[in-house]
Amino acid sequence: MSETQKFTKEELEQITELRNANASKINEFGQVELELLLANQRIEQLDAAKAELRKAYIALQNKERDLVKQLNQKYGTGTVDLDSGEFVPQKA
């Protein structure tokens, strides 16, 4: 078996430098993965909020449709002047 040998100071510095650089890159990869995880969670939250808003918007459309139908039955077809609160019948 051969005798052990010591690395030079420069060689040890190179090895240490490479090991530190490698550890730094592994840490950076971890940070990127964490950022991606957080971004994906935020996207999921936004998708859920979008779905809720879509439901609420559809409910508002249905409510508006029902009100228009109700008002048309009461007043006939026409337009509403919201500033004056007056109904203007549609001319035949």
Q: What is the pLDDT of residue 1?
A: 63
CA atoms within 13 A on the CB side of 3: 3
Q: Tell me the percentage of the chain whose pLDDT exceeds 70.
A: 98
Distance CA 55, CA 49 (A): 10
Write out residues in the chain with pLDDT < 50, as ranges.
Answer: none
Q: What is the pLDDT of residue 85?
A: 87
Residue 14, CA distances (Å) to 18, 25, 27, 40, 44 in order: 6, 16, 20, 39, 45
Domain ranges of the chain: 9-89
